[in-house]
A and B are shown apart, each in its own frame.
Chain A
């Protein structure tokens, strides 16, 4: 899975590998994510995301979607139905909007993939109303989207562009530590939220890390 016949073509098989790599990374980091959430939230981010991604992989095994849109929408709907809290609608909407953006196709170009990730970011903003510096998943996802676009515009091949996006997400994740939370349950902590890395941004960094492992 993930072998490319056409350079920079994002196939449904590649997206499938991406989703499965993400699920594996979430499972590996489950306790870490929950510990981060315990400090500034309600100590369930790791277990909730793991439950959701495990269900998403099971849904893919069962239905074997044949288009990018069907695959990403299946993942999104499964997250919405199984995760709960704020993470379900937020990560669910991210995948749903990517699915809508790519549509009923088996292979997309690098720029179409980048546009889909940007559409996903748009969905997260619509749903969560977060902006830069609010100490949320936005702070990792927005830099990743920008980095991916910028690298592709510079003619960087997709695999290297995705590595740039991964690095930007990781830097964005790290940058959430000194921030004061202004959204979600962490915001009630006020100053006490400073000094803690945001769990949602951490999960976004895992999503981009998974992409580098998916042979885009």
Chain B
């Protein structure tokens, strides 16, 4: 294992110190491992928090700031944060209009957020609404599994719901916008290498030089199938076609097209992928209304990419275009 770390056990703690030092707009509660906006709670604004295991940076802490999240709870690497953290974050950001919890659909995350919501309601009477993202089309059999995993749509949802909250919409309206993002977005990913969890010190799974894992999760969970490595053009087809078949998308539908790096893939390759995705979408008559290309929801040092398509209307597009000022996404300011 070659990593820029000191002690593997201190990675999360030391990264939080770095985030605090690098971004003066942000505050960090080191005890609860919460990154939060320096200007919360904002009176009468719906608070939005998220969180999850660490190792997916910039998700979620990199999305804390104006027009996106109010706070993010960092768990251990690939391990859900505990209810105390979300309870404390909920309290920090509650300006009296209630708090939205954005939760990725993993068993541990869902349970810990659920307990936090119960504790927050019992302790301070804060109204919490949770929205769970489950956009990974690689999980086909949702009835007999823990359901589809929350992946790329989470980034788009945090941006769009954050804009809705910033406009002063109430909790139910913000939650409705968030649910509509999840309902209209789908993702699929491919891994070219495994990731290496610092505490484990070795790759989570073995993938040969000439192999790729299609439909992989963001923690090194198994994908749909293991295949011989293919060209970007072929890989893009294998990611985009299942997404288009799943929603389904129709001719003329405008989408936000998001090509995401999993941590170990350079931006130049992501642009090669975006070109292919754009070509395939053009062939289906799907219009790329907006795009996002870069590593925004990662799996440590895993090489690979995911594609997320979000079908949008004018309202979602205007929320997407609204100003945002976070460590990782910033425009319109």
Contact = CB atoms under 8 A, between A and B. Distances in A.
Range, interface on chain B: 20 to 34
A108 to B, nearest CB: 26
A43 B144 contact: no
Given A84-B112, A189-B222, A192-B222, A183 B82 contact: no
Interface string B81-101: 111100000000000000000
A44 interface: yes
Interface stretch (B72-80, B178-186, B249-257, B269-277): B72-80
Contact of B81 (A84, A90, A183, A188): A84
A83 interface: yes
B327 interface: no
Which of the listed residues B107, B114, B222 has the most CB atoms from chain A within 10 Å of its own CB?
Answer: B107
A187 B76 CA distance: 22
B219 interface: yes
A89 B141 contact: no
Contacts of A187: 144-146
Nearest to A136: B107
A192 B78 CA distance: 21
B112 A88 contact: yes
A81 B82 contact: yes
A182 interface: yes
A184 B146 contact: yes
A182 B145 CA distance: 5
A55 B144 CA distance: 35
A81 B33 CA distance: 13
Given A80-B115, A128-B111, A89 B144 contact: no
Nearest to A93: B115
Interface residues of A, number: 29
B80 A185 contact: no
A86 interface: yes
A127 B111 contact: yes
A178 interface: no
A85 B83 contact: no
Given A43-B200, A80-B82, A84-B82, A184 B107 contact: yes
B82 A188 contact: no
Given A84-B112, A184-B107, A192-B222, A89 B83 contact: yes
Contacts of A42: 78-79, 219
Interface string B107-134: 1100110110000000000000000000
A190 interface: yes
B69 interface: no
Interface string A178-208: 0010111101111010000000000000000
Contacts of B107: 86, 128, 183-185
A109 interface: no
A47 B203 CA distance: 19
Given A88-B112, A184-B146, A44 B79 contact: yes
Given A84-B112, A85-B80, 9 more contacts: A82-B82, A87-B108, A89-B114, A93-B115, A183-B107, A184-B107, A185-B106, A185-B146, A190-B145
28 contacts: A42-B78, A42-B79, A44-B79, A80-B82, A80-B83, A81-B83, A82-B82, A84-B76, A84-B79, A84-B82, A84-B108, A84-B112, A85-B79, A85-B108, A86-B111, A88-B82, A88-B111, A89-B112, A128-B111, A180-B144, A182-B145, A183-B107, A185-B106, A185-B146, A187-B144, A187-B145, A188-B145, A190-B145
Interface of A: 42-44, 48, 80-90, 92-93, 127-128, 180, 182-185, 187-190, 192
